[in-house]
Structures are given as C-alpha cells and as structure tokens.
Amino acid sequence: MKNINYQRKEGMNMSAEYNIVLLALISIGSQVKTLTQLKTA
C-alpha cells in the first residue's frame, strides 16, 4: 500500500499544471454561462 520510494514522474508537473489551467478556464466559462442565464432567462 505505502509507496515509500515514490518520486514525482518527470513531466508530471507540467502536464498537471497545463490541465489545471485548462480546467480552470472551462470552469470560468461554465460560471459565465450560468450568469448569462440570470440576465436573459
């Protein structure tokens, strides 16, 4: 169960950070979409 020798995989930082930025943009987009419904519904 315990992986004492764990080492962060190479390239993982960049990949995870890129995906987080992408998801953050999508989440902002989803909030904006909800807000537009409040103005127009």
Instruction: Give the span between the Cα atoms of 27 and 21, in whole angstroms.
Output: 10
Query: Which amino acid, one-letter code, is at 18?
Result: Y
- Using CB under 8 A as the binding rule, whether residue 35 contacts another protein is answered as yes
Instruction: Give the span between the Cα atoms of 26 and 41, in whole angstroms.
Output: 22
- Using CB under 8 A as the binding rule, whether residue 33 contacts another protein is answered as yes
Q: Which residue has the tokens 């409040």?
A: 38
Give the shortest CB-21-to-another protein separation in angstroms.
10
Q: State the residues that interact with another protein by CB under 8 A.
A: 1-6, 8-9, 12-13, 15-17, 19-20, 23-24, 26-27, 30-31, 33-35, 37-41
